[in-house]
Structure 1
Amino acid sequence: MFEKKQSYAPTEAQQAYEQLDQLVAKKSINPRQASVYRRHISSRIQVTLKPSYTTQAARRAKAEIVRLTDAGTIPMKSAAAYRAHITKRTQEA
């Protein structure tokens, strides 16, 4: 049915969310079970951060964080922490 993993990359999490939606649509699992799986996934999403960023790379990374937040893949508090990490490590040109 649905296989749980120990950690998820943001794209893997998005795919898992879509798979859960399909399982609910097929009535293989009920919406309540799907929400339990979604909580499991959201607590195990791992974003890879770099030790330093150029200005352009920081802009791209922040845009990616916004897209992940809008998609519901990462929570707002995590997104704020990621943006702070990126800002702190951006190299001024």
Structure 2
Amino acid sequence: MTASQSELRKLLREANYIWKDSPLFEKKQSYTPAEAQRAYKQLGQLVAKKSINPRQASAYRRHIASRVQVTLKPSYTAQAARWAKAEIVRLTDAGALTMKSAAAYQAHITKRTIGA
């Protein structure tokens, strides 16, 4: 083994050590919709820079989607309900909410709309 090969192996071991100690993407226990969208953009940038592969990014996106929390109200006016439903659709289109979660949120809003 030449000196350059041993140096290369040493650098690879150090890079692997750094990778394990400082992850590129920090997972959280819960996300607001805005935090979820920022995280999705960050994941897109990491994939574009080839820091992580698309499969890893997909796993992170599934993690985020399962932990998005939307603040719900006990009651809604007709106008507030329209705005909230539009917001739910926007978040679903952006990928911050799963279809199943979006349907549950819309049902919650519909059930609690005053004067509808």
Q: Structure 1: how far apart are the matches of 2:96 and 2:34?
A: 9
Q: TM-score with structure 2 length normalisation?
A: 0.77
How is 1:1-93 mapped onto 2 (pairs within 5 angstroms)?
1-92=24-115
Computed over aligned residues only, the root mean square deviation of the Cα atoms, in angstroms, reads 1.0
Deviation string 1:47-91 (CA, Å, 9 cap, x unpaired) is 110001111101100010111111111111111111110011011
Give the counterpart letter for 1:65 in structure 2: I
The size of the alignment, in residue pairs, is: 93
Among all aligned residue pairs of Structure 1 and Structure 2, give the percentage whose two residues are the same amino acid.
Answer: 82
Q: What SS is found at the alignment partner of 2:76?
A: coil
Q: TM-score with structure 1 length normalisation?
A: 0.95
Question: Deviation above 4 Å: which 4+ runs of structure 1?
Answer: none
Q: Structure 2: how far apart are the matches of 1:39 and 1:69?
A: 13
Q: What SS is found at the alignment partner of 2:61?
A: helix
Q: What SS is found at the alignment partner of 2:37?
A: helix
- Which gives a bigger RCO, structure 1 or 2 (Cα 8 Å, sep 6+)? 1
